[in-house]
Amino acid sequence: MLQSKTRSWVTIDRNAILHNVEEIKKLLHKESEIMAVVKANAYGHGDGVIAKLLENNGIHTFAVSSVDEALNLRRVGVSGDILILGYTPPVHFHYLIEENLLQNFLSLDYAKKLNEFASAYGVMIRGHIKVDTGMGRLGIRYTDDEDGYEEIKAVYQLDHLAVEGIFSHFSVADELDDENLKYTAHQIELFEKVLGRLKEEGIKPGKTHIQNSYGILNYQLHYDYVRPGLLILGVTSDDAIEIRSNPDFIPALSWYANVSYVKTVQPNSSISYGRHYIAKSERKIATVSVGYADGVPREASNSGMEVLVHGKRCTIVGNICMDQMMIDVSDVDDVCEGDVVTLVGRDGDEQVKIDEWSRKVPTINNDMLCRISARVPRFYSRLK
């Protein structure tokens, strides 16, 4: 039986995460290793706990978005390599050296700034070169006519940068229609051309990587690293998207709240701000101790979104408030204050997936998971 822990809380199944890692390994080339992407607080799951769990179970390379996220991992004792995928401001360059971090060398000009800083202190800054093969976000743009190659080569030649790898990023690896398959194939072709040119000129590229989560699901490639994020947590961006593989992922996160009040309302009674829900008949309404400040999307108000009480589906009614929301429990027996409401996860034979919430917003599962706020405590299962 589900038990209350606080007004709203999340549980993370650490055994599910280790299971998902094993499922990912089944999809990889035998020489590829996992670079675990734990940015954005591990997509709301708790970056420090997740990274330490993975490091204790054989994964020693991580990727984050910022220097702040990298420092969080160092503070909890993560000792493996940490690649910062985003921009680090010059005022924070010293952390790259002090904490032995790897920086994304995202342009030649940026690499020169890093090199100048490192030269002034007589040290080396470690990192990987980002090549833009078609994402159009960060990285040195490389094209069919090999535009950009000289800039990439020049980064390798900077005397106070230790270029330990080179990488790119897929933009449509989740799309399997002909046009997008061709686009991804072209990204791979461009990346291969860069690597080939470097090797021809006697430059060792270092560690190579291009596959994000959908790149892992849909393509078996031979690079040194893959970069799963959501997959480690047992989730894809969109449950409806077709994939080429059939992994047995287990979602690690469940989300709960308490019933704080139960009342019977008469026909024509209104519920919540704006009076967007008017009861058409006598209904039993429960107030739940969770709202949009906790990460419940206000866009799901009056959308037909359902949660679970006593293993039965109950519809959210009225506008979702900052700290509370209301649900119709008319068809559920013996609902009372303190009962547990399942927002995401299983209760009995029923399950609500994060994807159901995402569709109501609408958004992707990455976004929905990241919305769960810091004021919602995370509880972690014991390892079996």
As annotated, the active-site residues are 39, 273
Distance CA 113, CA 105 (A): 10
Do residues 215 and 173 lie in contact, with contact meaning Cβ atoms separated by under 8 Å?
yes
Structure tokens at 308: 């679970």
Helices (H), 82-177: 93-98, 108-121, 149-156
Do residues 109 and 154 lie in contact, with contact meaning Cβ atoms separated by under 8 Å?
no
Give me the DSSP letters along 273-329: GGG-EE-SS-EEEEEES--GGGT--GGGTTTT-EEEETTEEEEEES---SS-EEEE-
Do residues 159 and 123 lie in contact, with contact meaning Cβ atoms separated by under 8 Å?
no
Do residues 43 and 267 lie in contact, with contact meaning Cβ atoms separated by under 8 Å?
no
First to last CA, the chain: 20
Q: Which of 305, 314, 318 minimizes the C-alpha distance to 354?
A: 305
Distance CA 298, CA 291 (A): 8
Please count the CA atoms within 13 angstroms of the CA of 26 that sit on its side-chain side: 12
Q: Which of 197, 87, 206 minimizes the C-alpha distance to 150?
A: 197
Whose tokens are 């990912």? That residue is 24
Dihedral sign from CA coordinates of 370, 374, 375, 377: positive
Helix (H) or strand (E) holding 368: helix 365-370
Q: Which residue type, as a one-letter code, is found at position 159?
A: D
Distance CA 347, CA 306 (A): 13
Phi, psi of 278 (to 5 degrees): -120, 120
Q: What is the DSSP letter of 57?
A: T
Do residues 259 and 341 lie in contact, with contact meaning Cβ atoms separated by under 8 Å?
yes
CA distance to 201, 223, 353, 356, per residue, from 334 (Å): 75, 57, 25, 26
Instruction: Write the CB contacts of 277 (distance below 8 Å, at least 6 apart in sequence).
Output: 270, 271, 302, 317, 318, 319, 326
